[in-house]
Structure 1
Amino acid sequence: MQLPAAVRELLLLEIYQQANDLDWEFLSNGEKTAQYRKWIEDPKVGGVLLAYGPEKDARVWIKDVPMKEYGRSQEGIGHYVRYAVNRFRGPEEIIHAACGEGWSVAPESVGEKPNHCYATNGEVNRYVCWGRTGTFRDLIWAALNEAIGARQRPAIVVTTRDGETIPTVERLRQIEVADHCGVSIAHLHRTMIQNPDYAGASLEG
């Protein structure tokens, strides 16, 4: 959809504010589908989008533009970070959990599918990927692929957030699998912070 920049900005802020209020990541697939319908019916969202195209295009835009990037934005990654009301502290927090102090994120190394980057201590680089427990298989596979020919043992970080826990049996199984595969593993509970780069701050105040 061809949207004026100002209109696009306001839509992104509105949708991300509502997603934040809904705890989008905790919604079931059915609840998310219902919310897409509500957004189409919402004068602040669908009411605006329908002025620029048909309903099917409006629905696709919501799914493929703001919501496709929502999870990455909460990680502090991507072009839409400034629209997330709250977010995690970013890859540096992951690196410290996986490698300890003295390591930092190597420049231009952050990527996705799964979220990953290279940690550096100034001498060597180390692959680190992270995600929630439901992505554990993807994390292991990504780390195994990186392990081939790597000088440093790759690491994965399984993350939880407030309101989320991993059963002890599942956590121990993840540790066993990672150890068998020659991959380091850490479990990190993260708390979201107010986004210091939030674009809506100037509008609020």
Structure 2
Amino acid sequence: MSDIPESVRRTVIKSIYHKADELGWDGLSPADRTTWYDRWIDDEMLGGVLTRYMPRERARMWIKDVPMKHYNRARSGIGPYADLVSTPLPSAYDIARVALGEDWTVLSGTLREKPNRCQVTDGQKQMLLIWGNPRNLKSLVWAGLNARVDKLPPPIVVISLLQGERLTESERRRHQEVCKLAGLNVRVITSRATRTTPVDRGGSPMRLPDG
């Protein structure tokens, strides 16, 4: 896989991200995603380029394991392909300000992934902000528990919904109860990805926390 020239790699990844954005990738079922992996391999500008450097099946796995594995992290401004997305999700700075207040900001050098987390401060207190979508609740809670064991700043779990997504009342109660049992504070916010130009990488519009 490292045989792909870097310029080719980045061009293909940028194109894949653009197509994933148009499809609303987060809302696709596993079966739909499988269908699109196959279609991308049949696309002369994607699979046609990749198969110059690797067999077809390996190219399909490359799409799944390289660009799409990094897709949501890249949209959050994290990882090696963050500059290739055109519809970024809210950054760590956006999440901190909406979930905690305008006075909160991210401490330099503390941003981590799997799950997304960073240390934040309002100039007096520090917290560990851990955020992701509802499907990642298990990893968010586990990261919070580990933060408590490791004596890191008090963790707070932020469930970030995209505009149009909703939690049912039973889902909301379950998330709150799970976090309560783990000794973790939890907030729910709603945001939308915003299409940008290469020079417009500001924060995405967001709605105030739901709780």
Pairwise same-fold verdict (TM > 0.5): yes
Q: Is the 8 A contact 2:147 2:153 kept in 1?
A: no
Question: Which residue in the other structure is 1:120 paired with?
Answer: 121
Unaligned stretches of 5+ in structure 1?
Answer: 200-205
User: Which residue identity is paired with 1:35?
Assistant: W
The one-letter amino acid paired with 2:178 is V
Q: CA offsets, 1:19-77, max 9 Å, x none?
A: 11111111111111111111111111111111222112211221222111111111111
Contact between 1:155 and 1:184, CA under 8 Å: does it hold in 2?
Answer: yes
What is the root-mean-square deviation of aligned Cα atoms in Å? 2.0
Structure 2 counterpart of 1:153: 154
Q: What amino acid is the match of 1:82?
A: D
Match of 2:62 in 1: 61
Q: Which residue of structure 2 lines up, in the alignment, with residue 134 of structure 1? A: 135
Identify if the C-alpha distance between structure 1 residues 181 and 97 changes in structure 2 by more than 3 Å, giving closer, same or farther: farther
Tell me, yes or no, if the aligned pair for 1:85 and 1:198 is still in contact at 8 Å.
no
CA contact (8 A) 1:106 1:125 kept: no
Are 2:58 and 1:29 equivalent residues in the alignment? Answer: no
Aligned length: 199
Which consecutive residues of structure 2, in runs of 5 or more, have no partner in the other structure? 201-211
2:170 counterpart of 1:172: no
Moved runs in structure 1, 4+ residues, more than 6 A? none
Q: Measured at CA, do residues 150 and 121 of structure 1 come closer, stay the same or move farther in structure 2, by a change above 3 Å?
A: farther
Alpha-carbon distance between aligned partners in 2 of 1:153 and 1:8, rounded to the nearest angstrom = 40
Aligned partner of 1:126: which letter?
M
Q: Distance in 1 between matches of 2:77 and 2:198?
A: 10
Instruction: Give the match for residue 105 of structure 1.
Output: 106
Please give the per-residue CA displacement for 1:107-126, whole angstroms capped at 9, x wherever unaligned: 11111111111112234431
> Do the aligned partners of 2:119 and 2:153 also contact (CA within 8 Å) in 1?
no
Query: Which residue of the partner structure matches residue 7 of structure 1?
Result: 8
State the TM-score, normalizing by the size of structure 1: 0.88
* Paired residue type of 2:172: R
8 Å Cα contact 2:126-2:154 kept in structure 1: no
- Report how far residue 163 of structure 1 moved: 2.4
C-alpha displacement of 1:198: 7.0
Question: What SS class does the counterpart of residue 130 from structure 1 fall into?
Answer: strand
Aligned-pair distance for 1:129? 0.5
Q: Which moved more, 1:174-183 or 1:162-171?
A: 174-183
Asked if the contact 1:153–1:184 (Cα under 8 Å) also holds between the matched residues in 2, the reply is no
Change (3 A) 1:168 1:198: farther
Any idea what the Cα deviations from partners look like across 1:128-187, whole Å, max 9, x if unmatched? 101111111221221122123647531000111022111012112222332333211110
CA distance in 2, matches of 1:57, 1:198: 34
Which residue does the alignment assign to 2:206? none
TM-score (norm 2): 0.86
Q: In terms of mean alpha carbon deviation, does 90-99 or 77-86 score higher?
A: 90-99
* 1:153–1:182 Cα contact (<8 Å) kept: no
> Counterpart of 1:128 in 2: which secondary structure?
strand
Identity rate of aligned residues, in percent? Answer: 34
In structure 2, C-alpha distance between the alignment counterparts of 1:26 and 1:79, rounded to whole Å: 24
Aligned to 2:204: none
* CA distance in structure 1 between the aligned counterparts of 2:183 and 2:52, rounded to whole angstroms: 55
More helix by percentage = 1
Does the aligned pair in 2 maintain the 1:98–1:156 contact within 8 Å?
Answer: no
